[in-house]
Amino acid sequence: MAGSALRRLMAEYKQLTLNPPEGIIAGPINEENFFEWEALITGPEGTCFEGGVFPAKLIFPPDYPLSPPKMQFTCEILCRWQSVYIYFTCSGDDPMGYESSAERWSPVQSVEKILLSVISMLAEPNDESGANVDAAKMWRESREEFNKIAEKIVRRTLGIPT
């Protein structure tokens, strides 16, 4: 199984290098282990995360794509995924009861689709299913405060004093 997963990951990496999506750089941490990747995701234009560069790590299981990878931001980020695995790659059911893990992951997903979905989630956080309940509440009830904190986080990702 790991052989087919490796072939798939190599093909996805090749596609990402030949035709990189805007705002995303991703690939294996080293070419000796295609099951651990790092990614840089640029905050989408017109959002409170605009201009930020958010590093993340992806870990692929030996039976990828039958099972989803796990992705975790390796920096501070104020949204539903702060220090937790992203929504549709989590195993198990949605703790908020919206959908099962089977409804979130499909083998037709790809690394590119996952990362583009993350950019989309940065642009439009789902405050109804937030892992960071306080951030979801702030997004709904005090958008100005949320945006100020997000601006500080963006500055930190760029190494600019806040």
pLDDT for 50: 94
Query: In the structure, what pLDDT confidence band is assigned to residue 76 with cuts at 50, 70 and 90?
Result: confident
Q: What is the mean pLDDT of residues 44-65?
A: 93
Q: What would the pLDDT profile of 114-133 be if each residue is shown by its tens digit?
A: 899 888 888 887 677 656 67
pLDDT for 91: 43
Higher pLDDT, 5 or 99: 5
Q: What is the mean pLDDT of residues 151-156?
A: 91
44 class by beta-carbon count within 10 Å (0-12 exposed, 13-18 middle, 19+ buried)? buried
pLDDT for 73: 86
pLDDT beyond 50 at 92: no
d(CA 39, CA 36): 10
Lowest-pLDDT range of 2-11, 29-38, 100-109, 139-148: 100-109
Contacts of 55 (CB under 8 A, 6+ apart): 38, 39, 40, 41, 73, 74, 75
Query: In the structure, what pLDDT confidence band is assigned to residue 30 with cuts at 50, 70 and 90?
Result: very high
Q: Give me the domains of the chain, ranges plus CATH numbers.
A: 2-158 (3.10.110.10)
pLDDT beyond 70 at 86: no
pLDDT beyond 50 at 84: no
